[in-house]
Amino acid sequence: MSKKLVTAVATTACLMLSTVACSASSSSTSSPGPSASGTPGSNSSATAPAAAAGGFDSNVLSTAPSNGNSADWVSWDKGSCSFVPATDHPATWSAATRKSTQTFLVGFGAQDTTNEVNITMNKSMTSFAQTAGVDLAFADYKFPSTSEPVSAARSIVVRNPSVVVSNNQVDALLSSVNNIYAKACMPVVQVVTASKGTVLFGPGNGAMGDLEGKRLVEFAKSKNWTANDTTLITTYYPTGGPEVALRASNCAAAVTAAFPGVASVSHDTASTTALELQNNFTDVLTAHPDAKHILVCTVADLWALADANALKLAGRQMDAAVTGVNGGSAVLDAIKAGNTALVGSVDLGADKWGQYWIPLAEDIASGKPVPAQVYAPIAMLPAQIPTR
């Protein structure tokens, strides 16, 4: 019998949660949503039995290369409902997926189901879970909502998954959301942003920023720009928290290291609306009319696109370079079309993230040691510096 994606919460559970939360569970983020790969099925029961250790085929179904892992390892201790240090473990972790031989339910909190990169992530998770014979208890955190992640976490808990993969990117809610899982004695794989008491999976925010900065430096040098005639503008999103901020700050650090003394401007943003972000960057440009060559570090493609649009409206796109994170088609298509300040975006390999999340969940549920942090491979796109 084929496995089903578990997305419905029992009627009694819906009475305890908000209407939106219940509808969200029948609907991630950075990851592509299940809606992109078909409407998730429903489960007739509000709960599902947790898989016992060893409920997986001994043969490896597939493997995926990681970009390394932290030196510290942990294993899930059911007695204390916590991850504890593990000393007996291999040197590196391998994303080796095994076929589930019994009911195995994994909770999946998606960042949202609308952003392209999240749609890609979600599709990767749902399709690979099906391949591995794993059921998913899905819920939508509806980023950037500050209330939906809590409701979504509660809707996942009532379905009793063995492990939860949480793609919550609202920094202020990390503790409150993960405490819901902790109280239910459920181990969590936290995506992208580290949270105490969880295992982290992500490409490393600092590493993303390093690639952004490297591309900007390469582009500027190809144009013979110097510190004396260049201005660095760094766009932050404080709501994302200090780790997400590393994307922009590491990018800026790489630029300032290559161009000591370069004029530097930083500004914070609070919105996730493209037009508001564009207007915000327009204000920055207006405040610096004499900036000749402009290099722009950002935290994600949404900000990169908005900043590039503002530069184009100001007629300054040919004397500027902007990088983003997510490797989205909008940025890459704009680069291909030309007449834009955009010069690259960090590809997170989101289409393969399910191939890491599922084996991590399997290993944790089986009591195997796993790294406290697993890093995903990333790359700058396009591979070559755009020409203009």
CATH for 315: 3.40.50.2300
Whether 341 contacts 364, CB under 8 Å: no
290 vs 302: CA distance, rounded Å: 26
pTM of the predicted protein model: 0.77
102 & 228 share domain: no
Per-residue model confidence as pLDDT tens digits over 283-299: 999 999 999 999 999 99
**Residue 131 has which token pair?**
């391949």
The residue with greater pLDDT, 101 or 167, is: 167
Please tell me the total count of domains within the chain: 2
Which among 138, 158, 132, 154 has a CA at the least distance from the CA of 55? 132
Residues near 115 by beta carbon (within 8 Å), at least 6 away in sequence: 29, 30, 143, 302
188 & 234 share domain: no
The values of phi and psi at residue 327, to 5°, are: 65, 35
190 & 76 share domain: yes
Q: Residue 360: how many CB atoms within 10 A of its CB?
A: 23
157 & 304 share domain: no
**Residue 63 has which token pair?**
């493997």
Residue 336 lies in a domain: yes
271 vs 346: CA distance, rounded Å: 21
Q: What pLDDT, on the 0 to 100 scale, is given for residue 128? A: 94
Residue 321 lies in a domain: yes
228 & 85 share domain: no
197 φ/ψ sector (left φ>0, alpha ψ -120 to 50, else beta): left
Peptide bond into 144 cis (omega under 30): yes
Q: What pLDDT, on the 0 to 100 scale, is given for residue 28? A: 32
Q: What pLDDT, on the 0 to 100 scale, is given for residue 34? A: 27
Q: What is the 8-class DSSP label of residue 92?
A: S
Residue 157 lies in a domain: yes
Residue 386 lies in a domain: no
47 & 172 share domain: yes
Task: Find the farthest-apart pair of alpha carbons in the chain and give their distance in angstroms, rounded.
Answer: 68
The residue with greater pLDDT, 43 or 365, is: 365
Which among 158, 148, 152 has a CA at the least distance from the CA of 183? 158
116 vs 198: CA distance, rounded Å: 26
278 & 366 share domain: no
**% of the chain exceeding 90 in pLDDT:** 76
How many residues are listed for the chain in this entry? 388
Task: Report the side by side order of strands in the sheet with 230-236.
Answer: 263-268, 230-236, 293-297, 320-325, 342-347, 379-381
The residue with greater pLDDT, 221 or 8, is: 221
User: Can you give the residue range of the structural domain that contains 234?
Assistant: 205-347
